[in-house]
Amino acid sequence: MNGQKYKGIIQKYRRFLPVSEKTPVITLNEGNTPLIYAGYLSGLVGKNCEVYLKYEGLNPTGSFKDRGMTLAISKACEAKATAVICASTGNTSASAAAYAAVAGIKCIVLIPGGAIALGKLSQALIHGAKVLAIKGNFDAALGLVKEITQAFPITLVNSINPYRIQGQKTASFEICDYLGDAPDFQIMPVGNAGNITAYWKGYKEYQSQALSKKLPVMLGFQAQGAAPIVRNKPILNPETIATAIRIGNPASWSSAIDARDESGGLIDLVSDTQILTAYKMLAEKEGIFAEPASAASIAGLLKLIKKGYFKKYNLNNKKFSIVCILTGHGLKDPERAIKTISPPKLMRADLKTIIKEIGY
Ligand SMILES: *Cc1c(COP(=O)(O)O)cnc(C)c1O
């Protein structure tokens, strides 16, 4: 850092990003998120394995979307844009609203009505975005914003905006910087597939500059009811409790396939039940509260362990590493947590009753 204070991903990784001295840097000090060793999960994989969790929920608005948004909004400001628009399953809108607020420009958001988590909706609203809930899903919202930006001078900040991917690739740089190399495997949720595209791009760039030696095997997971890539066809009515990945026709479909195939990885699916089991396990065993879409990473890890996917790596006595991406914070969707666990029992304010209830 050259003795400078941390000021976000544009400042830190400037030489890898399409910015110049003329680019205004709109930042909330995003990035620099912890890579947390996960002892319980490591033990489940085997004695030679180290599992790490990249906790992207600790970004300023609570998801990885901030990495892409700092660059997308900075570039929009450089181009003198006065308004940005996005379709969102929630986190993109929270992030766009916050960064547009710092930049002092207008933000318009189209969300699928009734299908975004409460925390995310509250963020977009409190940051002053113009939020419109449509009677349709994310894919329909994205179709509309594409049309709107073709007709009006409004900048699109969904991940089809190439600056989003550029900003998001910095997460793989951080992982390599921390571990001293890329991990052997990376597991992540796949929705619109911008993030798997971004990570793979980042890993390849770092390796090509000799800043890392290996490339990870990329393992992506979609939700069972929203798994177009796995099923090899768009899903008209995607359904899953993991609302951040409730997408039937991913914009970055082909680059997700490239990441999978070039890395020798896979894109598979996990059920909502598996996601919720992983969601609880992550909170109870590793002390980390991530939103359901993020838990798809852990559900994927558990599925692969069960299938014996890591067996051959456990057999040769070399250490290997797995990084699971936890894309968003658990507080984004408090309703899901409360629905997953039984709500607290209402007790009389009486010492004896309480002591009996807690088992002493
Ligand atoms: C956006 C998002 C995803 C999906 O990322 P894509 O780039 O759309 O594949 C996963 N989890 C969370 C929490 C998200 O906000």
* 294 within ligand 1 shell (Cβ under 6 A): yes
Q: Which amino acid is at 88?
A: S
Cβ neighbours of residue 71 closer than 8 Å, sequence gap 6 or more = 9, 10, 17, 18, 19, 163, 164, 166, 167
pLDDT in tens, 284-310: 999 999 999 999 999 999 999 999 999
Q: How far is the CA of 247 from the centre of ligand 1 (A)?
A: 10
Burial of 118: CB neighbours in 10 Å, binned 0-12, 13-18, 19+: middle
65 within ligand 1 shell (Cβ under 6 A): yes
User: What is the C-alpha to C-alpha distance for residues 256 and 223, in angstroms, rounded to an integer?
Assistant: 15
Question: Percent of the chain beyond pLDDT 70?
Answer: 99
* SS3 state of residue 358: coil
Q: What is the pLDDT of residue 3?
A: 62
Over residues 312-337, mean pLDDT = 92
- Residue 127 tokens read as 């940051």
Span of 108-117, 127-136, 175-184, 277-286 with lowest mean pLDDT: 108-117
Q: What is d(CA 100, CA 91) in angstroms, rounded to the nearest whole number?
A: 14
- What is the whole-number distance in angstroms between the Cα of residue 290 and the centre of ligand 1? 12
Closest residue to atom 13 of ligand 1, CA basis: 328
Question: For 73-82, what is each residue's pLDDT tens digit?
Answer: 999 999 999 9
Find out whether 271 and 303 touch, Cβ atoms under 8 Å.
no
Please give the distance, rounded to the nearest whole angstrom, from the Cα atom of residue 242 to the centre of ligand 1: 10
325 Cβ below 6 A of ligand 1:
no
**How many angstroms separate the most distant Cα atoms in the chain?**
69
Strand pairing of 49-55 and 35-37? Answer: antiparallel
3-state DSSP call for residue 168? helix
Q: Establish whether residue 328 lines the binding site of ligand 1, counting it when its CB lies within 6 angstroms of any ligand atom.
A: yes
Q: What is the pLDDT of residues 187-229, one digit of tens each?
A: 999 999 999 999 999 999 999 999 999 999 999 999 999 999 9
Given ligand 1 and candidates 66, 67, 91, which is best to mutate, with the most ligand atoms within 8 Å of its CB? Answer: 91
Is the pTM value of this prediction over 0.85?
yes
Task: Give the orientation angle of helix 170-179 with respect to helix 194-208, to 10 degrees.
Answer: 50
Sequence letter at residue 296: A
Q: Which of 16-25, 264-273, 312-321 has the lowest mean pLDDT?
A: 312-321
Write down the pLDDT at residue 75: 98
CA of 191 to the centre of ligand 1 (A): 6
Any idea which residue has 């909330």 for tokens? 28
Question: For residue 317, what are the contacts with CB-CB under 8 A and spacing of at least 6?
Answer: 48
Q: Give the Å distance between the CA of 179 and the centre of ligand 1.
A: 24
Residue whose C-alpha is closest to residue 288's, from 33, 41, 55: 55
**C-alpha–C-alpha distance, residues 250 and 157, integer Å:** 15
CB 291 near ligand 1, within 6 Å: yes
Nearest residue CA, atom 2 of ligand 1? 244
pLDDT at 72 over 70: yes
Residue 327 · residue 195 · CB < 8 Å? yes
